[in-house]
A and B are shown apart, each in its own frame.
Chain A
């Protein structure tokens, strides 16, 4: 009986020792994790923010340039009758883009706005007849090229 009690106590001590070592290790880990989490998150955020905003920025630039060509330079679209409509659509596209949040938003409105901008862009480009040629294409890595250097 006494013998049994002794081993149980030993086991308890051992478990305590284990968790003590774990706790000490954890303390160091948390410190380093906090640091690397900040950086890792930052890198990830940069990439994601860049990717998504590049598309929106592209639409913005397209709208800006077409407006310049049509309004400032007085160029007439293939069908003159729709000139005004195109200008209107582009202006409203730019208004939508100006609402695009500059900070990370984790809500449904953000996705809705993104969809609205995309479909508005489609309306604009199809009015101009460039819907297929002026699609936004994601930037592609030309790693194959770099590898040969």
Chain B
């Protein structure tokens, strides 16, 4: 049978079978090609919808972390500058004597570390991975800021309605519990924040050694 189908000189009945197969093939072919074109268009269109929102969310996170890292770096940089000027002037104040060599070296290397902390070292792949999971959780549970139904609705009112729908069903106690749970989990698992806390402790400890109590003000 198959050999007959492939026959170029097939009879009339066979031609219709041949046409059917060919049109099926053509159908699949078109489906794939135009489907891909559509998919590509859709990706761009879909990104347009959320990229700004995503950027704004990320920006807040970046500013909060970057501000603190910058501050730590500024603190150490100033002290380094200050000690260097003391060395050059040979000016030994009673209150502000030069630190010993080990502390001074520590200061130098810690400042250097902070100065080389680029965004990609603070916000690692794992950080974003975790963050994405968190966002998904939020969507499923409390439908907080990241409301998946935002995309289908246009007016503010509709947003409110859809966002409240899930929350109203929860009792207050449940909400508080959930909130507390998130609070306790977050500092441990937000990797950028964790790194910041680590560095902050290091810097404060060193400054304390050098006679600067950062917790006083």
A contacts, CB < 8 Å to B = 17-19, 21-66, 68-69, 73-75, 100, 102-104, 130, 133-134, 137, 139-142
Contacts and interface: CB of A to CB of B under 8 A. Distances in A.
12 contacts: A28-B42, A29-B44, A29-B46, A37-B51, A38-B135, A41-B54, A43-B128, A58-B73, A64-B71, A69-B82, A75-B93, A134-B81
B198 interface: no
- Of listed B71, B93, B120, residue having the most chain A CB within 10 A: B71
B66 A53 contact: yes
A41 B63 contact: no
A45 B39 contact: no
A86 to B, nearest CB: 13
A29 B43 contact: yes
A136 B114 CA distance: 12
A74 B56 CA distance: 43
Given A57-B74, A62-B74, A65-B74, 4 more contacts: A29-B43, A33-B43, A38-B53, A41-B50
Contacts of B52: 41
Nearest to A125: B81
B46 A31 contact: yes
Nearest to B146: A38
Contacts of A41: 50-58
Interface string B118-131: 11101100001001
Interface in B17-61: 30-31, 33-61
Contacts of A142: 116
